[in-house]
A and B are shown apart, each in its own frame.
Chain A
């Protein structure tokens, strides 16, 4: 069974009415994944044994009406650790690594009764925006298999868009949930920094990383966030703020909501056809009663530069732990410990990861620290302050998620400068720790265009409110990938 026309709520109704057993649902989910994944190559590892065991337990114990996620299958980006299940971060260096614990978000979902069915492909260590840097496989866009799926949560976005799972978890450091969600026409939320525990997420850039849900609809997205949000003592950056019911504002009403349109997000480098679709989306919200005004975020153009310094610096530090000693891949035929470190890392990491480790190491080294690392952190302050000025007067910011629609494999690969600019519209949100969502706003040349809604810190509910109103007015989620391209 596929989930192209099914929401979490539909499935829940069928499960509590006993029209469908959890075991049958789980089996049919695997049947469909096996039948379709040659085409999409979204999954690195399937978790069939664990999933079927969990399903049987649920069937024996029954599902209550308030257990909305119980029995619902989902996919996991393979940079979240899963107890006893291979976790690779799409890197050779973690080949055959089986963690001894599961990430906090997975504990939460297991408690809610949701069933993890497999680990999804990504760019190696989540570094990239195409999923092409994975050591294991090349995931294809759900709408056109000759196009990149986006990244780094490419497997997560495609598994949802292609109907393999009703929802998936991704992680977003500079756009890695929102950008593949945009390229596959689905809903992807990066929550506020601190909203969701990062415990058990393999760290890329710890001050920017955040886990979030990818779903077909806004309501499903809010339901998943309800389950994974909240304080966790094991992540010192997780917030103690009360977690509201994120579905509460899904009324379809946006009357009086004040929306800011930052002119820098519609300018040079952004495809005019993308601009046109997003502007039409904004006009739709205006027609529903929102008040829309143009604003300026002048430091936007420095976001990419600041991000590459800060993100790579943190990565160079976080990735020091991969040395071939305690777990994962270890190089053979080495004579000394030094040799073991160097050969393991040289053979274990791909080029994009090496590039960022070197950039980060350089930025943090004596003589470069003030000019790069500290300077980037100061620019980060300016970007965060600029957003705060806008949120003093507006409820939301709306812009395109990406400058372009999904492009072909191999394009931009030799020129990291061009590839990095593709993230220019998502990165500032991570730098400022804000929540942001991408929803489908329409199509250009048959491929989806993402509209990004950015909220003030901890105001995911407002984002969902406007996203839901737009989604219900346009019902674009009813348009599904045809499959033949």
Chain B
């Protein structure tokens, strides 16, 4: 059986995709832990799945379309109360571009 042996570089890569910053110590710990998890996960390779359809959901329903009707939920004020920083009816965030990028 082949084990995946996830590398620290791969852990750093997925962390950046997931918008997570890891300390040097965390990189080592997570790499070791994920490596152990992959030891379990890699047992899937033993299973013969030739011609087997994948199952992504056990729902008995089918996708359904509803009428496309505009609804005024009148919840803007309530929703804005949850936002960490607001200005009038807007949610405030830091600069999207850093100085020099928007030329």
Contacts and interface: CB of A to CB of B under 8 A. Distances in A.
Given A334-B94, A341-B19, A420-B37, A305 B59 contact: no
Interface stretch (A112-120, A154-162, A232-240): A232-240
B79 A194 contact: no
Given A359-B34, A362-B14, A417 B93 contact: no
Contacts of A376: 44
A98 interface: yes
A357 B94 CA distance: 25
A207 B83 CA distance: 29
A98 B30 CA distance: 32
A236 B58 contact: no
B61 A236 contact: yes
Contacts of B83: 325-327
A252 B79 CA distance: 50
Given A100-B78, A316-B18, A361-B14, A241 B60 contact: yes
A325 B43 contact: no
Interface string A280-317: 00000000000000000001011011101100000010
Contact of B55 (A335, A336, A381): A381
Contact of B40 (A326, A380, A417): A417
Interface in B8-51: 10-11, 14-15, 17-22, 30, 33-34, 36-37, 39-47, 49
A476 interface: no
B82 A326 contact: yes
A337 B43 contact: no
Q: Is the interface of B mostly helix, strand, loop or mixed?
A: loop
B94 A335 contact: yes
B87 interface: no
B21 A346 contact: yes
A197 B40 CA distance: 32
Nearest to A206: B57
B58 A337 contact: no
Contact of A194 (B14, B15, B61, B85): B61
Nearest to A432: B58
Contacts of B33: 355, 415-416
A339 B96 CA distance: 10
A383 to B, nearest CB: 9
Contacts of A421: 40
Contact of B54 (A193, A336, A362, A377): A377
A382 B46 CA distance: 13
Nearest to A326: B83
Interface in B55-87: 55-61, 63-64, 66, 75, 78-79, 81-85
B96 A337 contact: yes
Interface residues of B, number: 54
Interface in A397-424: 415-417, 420-421
A139 B11 CA distance: 32
A377 B40 contact: no
A122 B94 CA distance: 33
Interface in A369-404: 371-372, 374-382, 384
Contacts of B34: 355, 358-359, 362
Nearest to A344: B19
Interface centre among B14, B42, B85, B97 (most CB of A within 10 A): B14
Contacts of B14: 358, 361-362, 365
B98 interface: yes
Nearest to A335: B94
Contacts of B52: 378, 381-382
A371 B49 CA distance: 11
B40 A355 contact: no
Given A345-B19, A417-B37, A384 B58 contact: yes
Nearest to A375: B44
Given A343-B21, A345-B20, A375-B45, 9 more contacts: A237-B57, A324-B84, A325-B93, A336-B95, A337-B93, A340-B93, A355-B33, A378-B47, A417-B36
Interface of B: 6, 10-11, 14-15, 17-22, 30, 33-34, 36-37, 39-47, 49, 52-61, 63-64, 66, 75, 78-79, 81-85, 91, 93-98
4 cross-chain pairs, A with B, having the tightest CB-CB distances, nearest first = A433-B58, A377-B54, A330-B84, A327-B82
19 contacts: A100-B79, A236-B63, A238-B61, A305-B41, A326-B91, A327-B83, A337-B94, A340-B93, A342-B19, A345-B18, A349-B20, A354-B30, A358-B14, A358-B18, A358-B20, A375-B47, A376-B44, A379-B44, A381-B55
